[in-house]
Copies of this chain bind each other. A is one copy, B any other.
Amino acid sequence: MVSKADVSEAPRARRRSGLENFDPIRQVLWSRPGFLVRRLNQIHYAIFAEECKSHNMTPVQFGVLTALSLKPGLDQTEIGTELGLDRTTTADVLKRLEEKQLITRRPHPADRRSRQSLITDEGFKVMKELHAGMTQAQQRLLAPLSPRNQEIFLKLLSELVDANNDYSRAPAHSSL
């Protein structure tokens, strides 16, 4: 049985052992790479939103515009493959970009069931305006590390995504 004296001793014993800042939740959760990757992803979204707030643009929207600037006319399936997005998410992002008039869509000449996406003049203008902010967001995300460690982190991160690439199209909507 634990007496009152024992209980009141506990904080003092913790202080003596240097454990007064010990946080069991942090200890457990922060040892899970999946937990840390989710937090870093949120951090990137938050920094990106700050840097690109003038156009209310998300990283995924900017990624789709980037892909279309390099390969104009991609259809929805191709965009999903390039960006690692499932069908529902890709459709949703394309719809938002079209509503903002940053892309237009037209029937695919070789396959009437699919549609090609193209960046509009307004889309190119917005991309140009946001490019510095997007780059700044990437730099701020890694800024806490030394240049050498930034390089190592990016290399290992890229290895992990490459090796697990087949798994990276999980639906974004079922994440809660």
A residues with CB within 8 A of B: 24-26, 28-30, 32-49, 58-61, 63, 66-67, 70-71, 82-84, 89, 92-93, 96, 134, 137-138, 141-142, 144-145, 149, 152-154, 156-165, 167-170, 172, 174-176
Contact = CB atoms under 8 A, between A and B. Distances in A.
B25 A71 contact: yes
18 contacts: A28-B66, A30-B161, A33-B157, A34-B48, A36-B154, A36-B161, A37-B37, A37-B40, A37-B41, A37-B44, A38-B59, A43-B168, A47-B164, A61-B176, A144-B162, A145-B156, A145-B160, A153-B160
Contacts of A59: 34-35, 38
Q: Within the oligomer, what is the number of copies of this chain?
A: 2
Nearest to A141: B33
Contacts of A38: 41, 44, 59-60, 84
Chain A interface, DSSP helix/strand/loop, else mixed: helix
Contacts of A49: 170
